[in-house]
């Protein structure tokens, strides 16, 4: 067998093996990893955090862990605590007496955002 043929074949396979190894060590795309791109919670997840010491609530399709804010909320504690583990959208929009929260309250709320509310398919 001519020497040039052996050298060419060996070079070819070394090159192919190199490509294969490079593919193995290449960084994975997001779709290939199991890291969730966005966190989503269901109403059942939210309902599991229904106490003042662990208080999540959903407001307009977003989920908030407001546990740390409860002691600072300006109303009587039971007014806000009643919404732990629940959808507080309407309560937040009305403060249960027909008045919206201020824009400062909206900005404060964003600091407690933990994820979107997962839409359940019908």
Residues from 54 through 83 that contact ligand HEM (CB under 6 A): 57, 66, 69, 73-75, 79-80, 83
Residues from 92 through 111 that contact ligand HEM (CB under 6 A): 92, 95-96, 99, 101-102, 104-105, 108-109
- Measured from each CB, the residue nearest to ligand HEM is 88
> DSSP characters for 12-79?
HHHHHHHHHHHHHHSPPPGGGS---SS-EE-HHHHHT-EETTEEEEEETTEEEE-GGGGGG-SS-HHH
Three-state SS at 121: coil
What span, in angstroms and rounded, lies between the C-alpha atoms of 66 and 114?
A: 10
Q: Does 114 bind ligand HEM (CB under 6 A)?
A: no
Q: Please give the residue ranges that form the binding site for ligand HEM (CB under 6 A).
A: 57, 66, 69, 73-75, 79-80, 83, 88, 91-92, 95-96, 99, 101-102, 104-105, 108-109, 112
């Amino acid at each position: 067998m001519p020497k040039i043929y052996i050298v060419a074949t060996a070079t070819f396979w070394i090159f192919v093996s190199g490509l294969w190894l490079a593919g193995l060590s290449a960084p994975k795309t997001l779709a290939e990893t199991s890291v969730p791109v966005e966190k989503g919670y269901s109403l059942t997840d939210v309902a599991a955090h229904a106490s003042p010491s662990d208080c999540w609530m959903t407001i307009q399709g977003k989920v908030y862990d407001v546990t740390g804010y409860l002691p600072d909320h300006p109303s009587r504690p039971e007014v806000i605590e009643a919404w732990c583990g629940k959808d507080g959208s309407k309560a937040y929009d009305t403060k249960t007496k027909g008045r919206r929260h201020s824009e400062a309250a909206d900005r404060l709320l964003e600091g407690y955002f933990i994820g979107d509310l997962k839409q359940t398919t019908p």
